[in-house]
Every structure is written in structure tokens, then in C-alpha cells.
A and B are shown apart, each in its own frame.
Chain A
Amino acid sequence: MQDAYERCVYLERLGLFGCVQCGKCTAGCPINYVTTQEEPFNIRRLVYDVLNAPGEELASEKHFLWQCTTCGTCSLRCPKDIKPRDVVMNLRSILVEDGTLPPAIRDVLKSISINYNPWSLGKEKRAEWYKGLELKDASEAELCLYVGCTPAFDSRLQKLARSAVAILQKLGIDFGIFGTEEICCGNEIRRLGDTWSFDALREANTELFNGCENIRQVMTLSPHCWNTFRNEYPGLKAEVLHYSIFLARQLASGALKPAKEFAKRVVYHDPCFLGKQNEIYDEPRALLKSIPGIDFVEFDRNRENSLCCEGGGGRMWIEIEHAPERLANIRVRDAVEMGADVIAVACPFCLLTLEDAVKAMDLEGKVQVMDILEIINTTI
């Protein structure tokens, strides 16, 4: 029988011996924060278990593996460069290979192989968000707007994609989209441990992008897409940018000039895949601060210390049972306490989780969740 360690594609077991059991990973882990003391999610303990586990039993019984948002805080805090998050991803990949999956995850993975998106929706549905818009095909422009699956399908997020279009048009930038041909980037799929599907998506996407010789730059709406394109697509020719970086460059060059007032108190929530994982902290802030009339405030827990919203790593499809509190609720409560009118985000997942929290807490009149794209769009 094949040794379980060997099946951990990305796991160097020997590297784990360097762990000094300092617990910084666990203490920083947002999921540890919201799980109970009776059923804690303890990533340090997991590292220790994997280190000492007798081969095969490694992943079985570890159903709590699906709780991790792959926010990367543990890897960021680890003084010994252990990358505990990758341990989670690897154990998940064993579960994927063995097929012992929660039904919701199974559906996601199945949809990927059939529809090239995780939302179990037909390919033609991708055309919904740009209904009525006349947009070029990606192969005809230097800039490709990559909207990603969730903004393409989710009715709330479709607004986001349309804001991006509006901004680019107002700036007079020539761009195109793949439309119904767009394929899932695979970021969440990879985080869910399905490295096989991920490899297929990567190949298909690389072929798609590299096949369009005109494309110089790709702008993504989601930091999740950007993360995988940036870090896990070695063969991509075009430069891929999250929109916050793209627009911050436009701001610096003077092309983008927010002119209309946005007289609201705005607090910015750092998405993990933009901040903690890719160290983009300043660009979104520069965009917000450039808006006339804005009263920009910071969460106490910001930048490297930001709190995850629980939207990543497949957590869009899985709930933690008996969680005493949701992180998104904490975030919203903090924002309300600070008197914020708007929680600004730069990630579609954050938008959904925080908005859900606002609704669940009945705070709809009090505080609003908006993506920076939407805010910028109202000011130019």
C-alpha cells in the first residue's frame, strides 16, 4: 500500500520536524478563534499529529480539515517556515483522492469537471453579467478583464463586474473579456486539495491566455484568482494584476482621478489573499484615500493583523457546525462600533460573507458593505 506521506504531493514531511511547537500558528488561526474548546481546530496539533502519524491514518477521521479557510495566517506567523496551511491542503488532497468528501465539496468538484466552474451552473450562464453590454473579445485587446466565477454567476456580485467595466470604460482603456469561454482559475479547487482538477484548469487557462497573443495584462476582480495566477501559474506570459494594483497605478499616473464626493466613514477590511498572502496593503488604501470627502478609518486589527472573513479555502460551500461566533459578525460589529457607514472590501468573497453578516445581525440600515470598485465607480 502506498504510504500516505508519499501521496502528499506538496508536503515535505521532513520539513515538519523543524516545528518547535510554539503554537503561533494556532494562536493566529481565525478558525481556532471561532471553534469551541471542546472541538478546537488546532493547526499546531495537526502538524504534530502528521509528524507522528502512522502512515495511512493520516487524513482519515480528520473531518475538521474542511474548516480551514486557507487564509495563510499560520504560515505567515510560523517562525520556522513550516507552512502549516500546506499540511491542511495536502491532507485534503488525500481525502479527495479517496473520495471521502462532504457532499457539498463533492458537488463543487464535480461541477468543476463538468462546467469548469464550481457553482454547478451551465457555461452559457456566464453571459448573464454582461447582458446588454457591448464588450470586445479578450483576444482583441491588450488588457483582459478576468471576472472569475462568483462575480459572473452571483447576482449581487454581477454589480461588481459591471462596475469594473464602467471604470475601465470611463478611463478609456481598451479591454476584452472571455465571456462564456472563461474558465475557473482553480484557486479554491487547489485549496480544497483537488490538485488533479487544478492541474487541468491550469493547463486550459494557460492555453487560453497564451493563445491570445495580444494580451499583455490580465486584471482580476478577486484576489483569490490573482493569487493562483500569480503564484501557481508558472507558464503564464501576461502580467496578472488584482484590480487594486491596476487602479492604483492609474491613480499614480494621474489617469484615475476620483472627483465626486463620497462623504462617508469608510473602514477597509484586508482580504487574506490580497494582504496576508500577497502583501498588498497599501494599494487599496491609496485608492480609498484618494476619494474626496471620505472619512477613512482603520480597524484595530488591520494589515498583517487583519481578521479573516471565513470566505476562502472552500468555505464558501461549507459551514462550521456549533461555531459560537462568525468572524464576519465580529468584523461587522467592530465596524459599527467605530461608526463606520461602509465596510470597504477588495474581494468578492469578503463582500458576500460580510454582507451576510450585516443581514444576519439586522444592521442593514446601519452599515453597508461595498467593494472598492463600486465606491470608485460612483466617484468618477
Chain B
Amino acid sequence: MASKRIGVYICHCGVNIAQNVRIDDLRAFAAGLPGVRVAQNYMYMCSEPGQEMIRKDIAENRLDRIVVVACSPRMHEPTFRNAMKSAGLNPYCLEMANIREQCAWVHKDADVATAKAKSLLAAAVTKVSLLEPLEEREVPVTKTAMVIGGGIAGIQAALDIADSGFKTYLVEKDASIGGHMMQLDKTFPTLDCSACILTPKMADIKNHPNIELLAYSEVTDVKGFVGNFKVTVKRKPRYIDENICNACGSCAKYCAIAIKDSFNAGLSKLQALHIPFPQAIPAAYVIDPLACRYTREGTCRQCEQVCKDLNAINLDMQEHSIELDVGTMIMATGFEPFDANRKPELGYGRYENVITGMEFERIVSASGPNQGQLLINGKKPKEVVFIQCVGSRDKTVGNEYCSRVCCMYTAKHAHLVREKLPDAKITIFYIDVRAFGKGYEEFYDRVKGEEVYYRRGNVSEVYRKGDKLICRGEDTLLGQALEVPADLVVLAVGLEPSPGARELGQLLKLSKSPDGFFLEGHPKLRPVETGSDGVFLAGCCQGPKDIPDTVAQAGAAAAKAIIPLAQGMVKTETMVARVRAEACRACGYCVDACPYDAIALGEVRLGRATKTAAVVNEVLCKSCGACSAVCLSGAIQQSGFTDDQLLAVIGAIGKEY
């Protein structure tokens, strides 16, 4: 093996690295390491002049291996690979030593940080001299996308992808799309009618030639990788054929079983056979199997008789699964309002007139249980108290985050109360008011001007005194505890991840942030990407947000999901496992170890003879290295992480420099 010609490039990262690591020491040290022909340092290696420095040295000094001593490879490995590629060098002959995240930022003492940087640098130089050039391959992409979750986030993302010409599946677990936005009455700060701006988009979903809506369905399995996912979707039985049903509703009149109306937040009842709400998409009825007398007891079938002509009802419908090929996916599973029963001291579930913000939306909505009249037990409340931050910013329930919408929706609610009840006394207890969006502070000002008492401090407990509820809180500006009587108490419940999102996330190998929502690829620079290539995030599944932010993020996720579809090809893993057939014992240990079934035993040619040995399917291999760890003869090796390379690194990193 000809000796390698290595270039080492040490980055100052402005002062980020340079202030804690002695760059000159490090450069002198690098220059003395075996194989190193060039050792340079520069203010910002990732900048264009920095990259140009590498390209120039490759040409002038015939460098064939590059070590960049800078930040995390998770950040800039692609940057330097591209620079090498454009200088005609194989991009896989690169190694990075991460002295920013692992030295400069975590060790204040410059001696210590510099010493540690040296050993990381030495290890990188050792490894790079053993790296082999690797070839990049591409495979064609299935030009179809899937969006999971049919709230405003999923609807917007599906429409954007479909509009750009790609087929899109929209999977929604409920009987209709629309999500929580459909339940809202008005939206802050403009007071647009929520349903009026949402239903046209829902109709577009139904009518779009590129969109296939799979409502009442759930994703149960995901295989494959970016460009070529295989998704199993479970289609729950609706018992009514959505393609035949014309939503005439005759059947529902005959259904005698009443259930809680979850669209109205449980405040009213509907039949076991029902349409979730009048504007539902698909515009078809559905039967709740947990309530239907026939599915539970085996007798009834009244409704079938009514629909004899169209014959849309089929009570023998069975659950079934379909498998779909898609290239990219968007998660849009949204949120679930915080369960106020978890704050028992606030009286929810104990007093009828303590309700959540979501229930309030339904009560004041013209399509709600009271046709929009604000009545509590049939009476107009005279005194209304709002309590903010319920289930948010609260360690006792494990939610440290701010839910971001409840300050504003509470202001909106106060406005709606004032509109409906000009004489009501309205009090809002708050810790801080977060009115950060466009037009939000102005809206907050406007609401305060409508004689709404904002009391700085929060309510500790709610109890009954006579026929009133008493909200006991402290006005911390006065430094005095207050007892505010109320006929209606509205809890500004926060947002939590949707209940099934966790399992779904595991199928897609998505990480969660400590708040339980899905973790984005990078908090600043990759806000809609995830750790799984080809899977993107939109809306509240990534964290609480309002509708404008949700829609913006959905558009961004759609654009990202379109890229591989438009390119038509995706790169497969490069650092795949390779087999030296002559060493292989054909034991099959690697076959068992591979999580992707990428290895099989097969006949291979060795010179003129043939032999049984492990064979890797390079398209399926995802480059985890599990096979290499179990191979006793060292025959199967993950490129870029071979036994030789790792053992050499272990040797180099353990030494004193």
C-alpha cells in the first residue's frame, strides 16, 4: 500500500474553538503525524475560502486523504465531502475530528481541551489513512408521498404535494379529516370563522385527482427507506361504503343507540350510526362498532333496511390491510388537549361549570350543542373566569413547555364572551401573557380594552360557595390572595402529543424531544426534517403551534418531501457491508444479525471454484455494522467502519500525546 498523502485542516470556528483550544499547538502536532503532508488552520473551514484551501491543496500537493478538525460530522461532513468531490477526490476519504462539541464547548480549561483535541486528531489521522474510496449508487424513487394525519397540517401538506403533480395518500385515523381546527369556532387574532376557511380545503382533498384519502385508517407497519417505503395501512371497517353513501342521513333516524359526540367535545349525543359533523370529508356516515347493537349483540340491522335501495350499509364489513409503496412521508398527527382531570384542584369533572377551552369552542360555535348560545345549565353566566397554563409550564404533570396557543385563545374566548354577554364580568388569571405573533399583541390590547380583568397570578383551587364557584388565586401585583366568584370557569388546557403518535414514531424511527413531541432534524436549520431520511414533520406533532405556523410548516414539509420525488433517484447507503468470500465460513451469523434481511448465503465465484458465502444486497443494506460485529472470521466488513479501521482508532485514541 502506497503511503497516504494526508491534509489536516483545523478550524477556529471564529472564536468558538480557538478560544479554548490552542490551534497553533494542534497544527504543529498534526504536522508531525505520519503521512501528514499539509497541516493548515483557518478561521472558518466550512466557508468558501476554507473549502477552496482544501481544493487547492488537493491539486497542488496531490493529497489523497483529508482530515477536518472542526465541528460535528453530523453538521458538516456533507460540506467537506462535496468540496473533495469537486476537487476530484473520492469524498469518502474524509475523516472529521469533532473538537468543537467534544472539546472547546465542554471543557473550559485550554490545556485539557487541547490535549484531548490532540488525541481526537491523532485518531482521525490514523483512521483516514486506512479509509478506502467508496462508490455512490442511486436507486429510482417511488414517485408517491404519504401524509399521516388529516388535520390542517396534513391537509395543507397533501394539497401542496398533490399540486406539484405527485400522487399523495392522506391517512386519517378518524372518520373525517379536519382535525382540531374543525372544532374551533373563530380563530385568533382575526376572528375568521374556522370552519369557513377549512372546509374548502377539505373539499379540495376530496376532489384532487392526485390525492387518495384513506380515512378511518391507521399505519401499522413501515418497511424500506427513503424513496422506497412499504407502508401497511389498516382500514378499519366503517360499515358504510363511503363511495356509495350520499349522506342523506335517513338511516341515522332509525338508530336508537346514543353515544357521546366527540366532535362536540362530549357535550352532546349522537347515534352509533352517524356522520361526525355535517361538513365531514369523506361525506359519509359511519357506525361505531363499540356502540352499535348489531356489532355488539348480533341483532338489529335496522339501518340496513332503510338503505335498501342504495345498499351502502354493510354490517359484515371486515377490517383489512393494504400495502402501499411511497417515496417520502410526512407526519402530521397533531396534538391532544391536556386532560384537565389531571389537575383535580381546579374542579374539572367535579363541577359541571368548569370546562376546557376546547369545550368552550364547541359551546360558542353556531354548529355546537347550544347553537352558539353561551348558556351554562340553561342560564347565561354573569361571571366568567379563565385560568391559563393548565397542564403547561407545569412540572407536576410533566409538561415543562409553554403550549403557545392558550394565551391567545383565552383572549379570543374573552372577546367572544364579551360579544355574547355584554354585562358579564370577565377575569383572566395568567402567569405571563405570550402574545408573540403577528397582530397578537394588538389583539390582546383590544381584548383588554373590552373590560376584561387580567389578574397577574394563577388560580390554586376552585371550590363551591353557595351556587357560585370560587376561584382562589393570588394577584401577585397586589400581593393579595383573591377569591373571584364564577358561574363559568374555563381552563386554558395545553397541548400534548396525540396518543398514538408514540408507536407510530417508533415504526418510523423518529426520536422525541423531552417534551414528548417529535424531534426535528436540527432545531434551527432542519426544522421539518427528522433523523429518518425521507420522513418530515408538519404541525403540532412537532410541538404546540398555532394555525399560521402549522400551515407554514406544512408547506415547508411538503417542499422537502417533494425533493426526492422530483429528483427521481435517491442515493443508497455508501458505507455498506462487503464480504471477503475467501474468509467467509458460511456460518450465517451475519444473516441473523442483519435487521434488514440484506444478507443471504449464496454461491459465489472464487477464481474458478465456487463457494457458499454471505452475499450482501447493497440496496437493502442500511450500514449499521451489526453483521461485522458478529462475524468471527472478519469476512464481512462495514465500509468505513471496518475492524482494522476501528482497532487502529482504538489504539490511537488510547495513547498519550
Cross-chain contact A42 with B479 (CB below 8 angstroms): yes
Query: In the complex, which of the residues A20, A26, A300 contacts B481, with contact meaning CB atoms closer than 8 Å?
Result: A26
State A20–B473 Cα separation when bound (angstroms). Answer: 14
Q: Does B459 contact A (CB under 8 A)?
A: yes
Minimum CB–CB distance for A354 against chain B, Å: 19
Cross-chain contact B463 with A300 (CB below 8 angstroms): yes
Cross-chain contact A24 with B458 (CB below 8 angstroms): yes
Q: Which of A55-85 contact B (CB under 8 A)?
A: 73, 76-81
Q: Does B352 contact A (CB under 8 A)?
A: no
Minimum CB–CB distance for B471 against chain A, Å: 9
Cross-chain contact B464 with A24 (CB below 8 angstroms): no
Query: In the complex, which of the residues A23, A37, A81, A304 contacts B474, with contact meaning CB atoms closer than 8 Å?
Result: A23
Cross-chain contact A79 with B474 (CB below 8 angstroms): no
Residues of chain A lying within 8 A (CB to CB) of residue B464:
300
Residues of chain A lying within 8 A (CB to CB) of residue B481:
23, 26-27, 32-33, 40, 42
Cross-chain contact A79 with B394 (CB below 8 angstroms): yes
Q: Does A21 contact B (CB under 8 A)?
A: yes
Cross-chain contact A24 with B460 (CB below 8 angstroms): yes
Choose among B394, B464, B475 the residue with the greatest number of A CB atoms under 10 Å from its CB: B394
Residues of chain B lying within 8 A (CB to CB) of residue A32:
481
Residues of chain B lying within 8 A (CB to CB) of residue A301:
461, 463
Interface range on chain B: under 10, 10 to 19, 20 to 34, or 35 or more? 20 to 34
State A21–B477 Cα separation when bound (angstroms). Answer: 10
Q: Does B345 contact A (CB under 8 A)?
A: yes
Cross-chain contact A79 with B479 (CB below 8 angstroms): no
Cross-chain contact B480 with A22 (CB below 8 angstroms): no
Q: Does A285 contact B (CB under 8 A)?
A: no
Cross-chain contact B458 with A23 (CB below 8 angstroms): yes
Q: Does B259 contact A (CB under 8 A)?
A: no
Q: Does B200 contact A (CB under 8 A)?
A: no
Query: In the complex, which of the residues B347, B459, B479, B482 contacts A24, with contact meaning CB atoms closer than 8 Å?
Result: B459
Interface range on chain A: under 10, 10 to 19, 20 to 34, or 35 or more? 20 to 34
Q: Which of B378-393 contact A (CB under 8 A)?
A: 389, 393
Q: Does A264 contact B (CB under 8 A)?
A: no
Q: Does A143 contact B (CB under 8 A)?
A: no
Residues of chain B lying within 8 A (CB to CB) of residue A305:
344-345, 347, 461, 463
Q: Does A28 contact B (CB under 8 A)?
A: yes
Cross-chain contact A77 with B476 (CB below 8 angstroms): no
Residues of chain A lying within 8 A (CB to CB) of residue B344:
303-305
State A33–B480 Cα separation when bound (angstroms). Answer: 11
Residues of chain B lying within 8 A (CB to CB) of residue A26:
460, 474, 481
Minimum CB–CB distance for B470 against chain A, Å: 10
State A138–B74 Cα separation when bound (angstroms). Answer: 65
Minimum CB–CB distance for A285 against chain B, Å: 15
Cross-chain contact A22 with B395 (CB below 8 angstroms): no
Residues of chain B lying within 8 A (CB to CB) of residue A249:
none
State A279–B475 Cα separation when bound (angstroms). Answer: 29
Residues of chain A lying within 8 A (CB to CB) of residue B474:
22-24, 26-27, 42, 44
Q: Does B432 contact A (CB under 8 A)?
A: yes
Minimum CB–CB distance for A116 against chain B, Å: 37
State A263–B457 Cα separation when bound (angstroms). Answer: 45
Cross-chain contact B396 with A20 (CB below 8 angstroms): no
Cross-chain contact A20 with B393 (CB below 8 angstroms): yes
Output the nearest chain B residue to A45 by Cβ-Cβ distance: B479
A65-107 Cβ-contact flags toward B at 8 Å (1 or 0): 0000000010011111100000000000000000000000000
A1-35 Cβ-contact flags toward B at 8 Å (1 or 0): 00000000000000000001111111110001100
Minimum CB–CB distance for B241 against chain A, Å: 48
State A127–B475 Cα separation when bound (angstroms). Answer: 52
State A81–B480 Cα separation when bound (angstroms). Answer: 22
State A20–B461 Cα separation when bound (angstroms). Answer: 18
Q: Does B472 contact A (CB under 8 A)?
A: yes
Q: Which of B476-495 contact A (CB under 8 A)?
A: 476, 479-482
State A249–B475 Cα separation when bound (angstroms). Answer: 45
Q: Does B431 contact A (CB under 8 A)?
A: yes
Cross-chain contact B395 with A44 (CB below 8 angstroms): no
Cross-chain contact A27 with B396 (CB below 8 angstroms): no
Query: In the complex, which of the residues A22, A40, A76, A300 contacts B458, with contact meaning CB atoms closer than 8 Å?
Result: A22
Q: Which of A101-132 contact B (CB under 8 A)?
A: none
Residues of chain B lying within 8 A (CB to CB) of residue A300:
463-464
Cross-chain contact A37 with B457 (CB below 8 angstroms): no
Cross-chain contact A79 with B396 (CB below 8 angstroms): yes
Q: Which of B507-530 contact A (CB under 8 A)?
A: none
Minimum CB–CB distance for B61 against chain A, Å: 54
Residues of chain A lying within 8 A (CB to CB) of residue B345:
28, 77, 304-305
Residues of chain B lying within 8 A (CB to CB) of residue A42:
474, 479, 481
State A164–B337 Cα separation when bound (angstroms). Answer: 47
B447-461 Cβ-contact flags toward A at 8 Å (1 or 0): 000000000011111
Cross-chain contact B479 with A25 (CB below 8 angstroms): no
Cross-chain contact A81 with B472 (CB below 8 angstroms): no
Residues of chain A lying within 8 A (CB to CB) of residue B347:
305
Query: In the complex, which of the residues A21, A28, A33, A304 contacts B476, with contact meaning CB atoms closer than 8 Å?
Result: A21
Cross-chain contact A79 with B395 (CB below 8 angstroms): yes
Cross-chain contact B480 with A40 (CB below 8 angstroms): yes
Minimum CB–CB distance for A35 against chain B, Å: 10
Query: In the complex, which of the residues B389, B395, B472 contacts A27, with contact meaning CB atoms closer than 8 Å?
Result: B472
Output the nearest chain A residue to B473 by Cβ-Cβ distance: A27
Residues of chain B lying within 8 A (CB to CB) of residue A78:
396
Minimum CB–CB distance for A141 against chain B, Å: 39
State A23–B482 Cα separation when bound (angstroms). Answer: 10
Residues of chain A lying within 8 A (CB to CB) of residue B472:
27-28
Query: In the complex, which of the residues A22, A73, A80, A304 contacts B457, with contact meaning CB atoms closer than 8 Å?
Result: A22
Residues of chain B lying within 8 A (CB to CB) of residue A77:
345, 396, 460-461
Contact A80 B480, CB 8 Å, known A22-B458, A27-B474: no
Minimum CB–CB distance for A62 against chain B, Å: 16
Minimum CB–CB distance for B484 against chain A, Å: 11
Q: Which of B386-411 contact A (CB under 8 A)?
A: 389, 393-396
Query: In the complex, which of the residues A33, A37, A80 contacts B395, with contact meaning CB atoms closer than 8 Å?
Result: A80
Cross-chain contact B463 with A27 (CB below 8 angstroms): no
State A37–B476 Cα separation when bound (angstroms). Answer: 14
Residues of chain B lying within 8 A (CB to CB) of residue A24:
457-460, 473-474
Cross-chain contact A28 with B461 (CB below 8 angstroms): yes
Output the nearest chain B residue to A27 by Cβ-Cβ distance: B460
Output the nearest chain B residue to A26 by Cβ-Cβ distance: B474
Minimum CB–CB distance for A205 against chain B, Å: 31
Cross-chain contact A20 with B432 (CB below 8 angstroms): yes
State A237–B329 Cα separation when bound (angstroms). Answer: 55
Minimum CB–CB distance for A366 against chain B, Å: 21
Cross-chain contact B457 with A79 (CB below 8 angstroms): no
Cross-chain contact A25 with B460 (CB below 8 angstroms): yes
Choose among B345, B389, B480 the residue with the greatest number of A CB atoms under 10 Å from its CB: B345
State A23–B344 Cα separation when bound (angstroms). Answer: 18
Q: Which of A301-324 contact B (CB under 8 A)?
A: 301, 303-305
Minimum CB–CB distance for A301 against chain B, Å: 5
Minimum CB–CB distance for B329 against chain A, Å: 36
State A22–B480 Cα separation when bound (angstroms). Answer: 12
State A305–B344 Cα separation when bound (angstroms). Answer: 8
State A73–B396 Cα separation when bound (angstroms). Answer: 13
Q: Rank and list the top 5 A-B pairs by shortest CB-CB distance, nearest first.
A: A23-B474, A28-B460, A27-B460, A23-B457, A79-B394
> 19 A–B contact pairs at CB < 8 A?
A22-B389, A23-B458, A23-B460, A24-B458, A24-B460, A25-B460, A27-B457, A27-B473, A28-B461, A37-B480, A77-B345, A77-B461, A79-B393, A79-B394, A79-B458, A300-B464, A305-B344, A305-B345, A305-B347
Extra contacts, 20 of them, besides A27-B460, A301-B461 (Cβ < 8 A), are: A20-B431, A21-B457, A22-B389, A22-B457, A24-B457, A25-B460, A26-B460, A27-B474, A27-B481, A28-B460, A44-B474, A73-B460, A79-B389, A79-B395, A80-B393, A300-B463, A304-B344, A305-B344, A305-B345, A305-B461
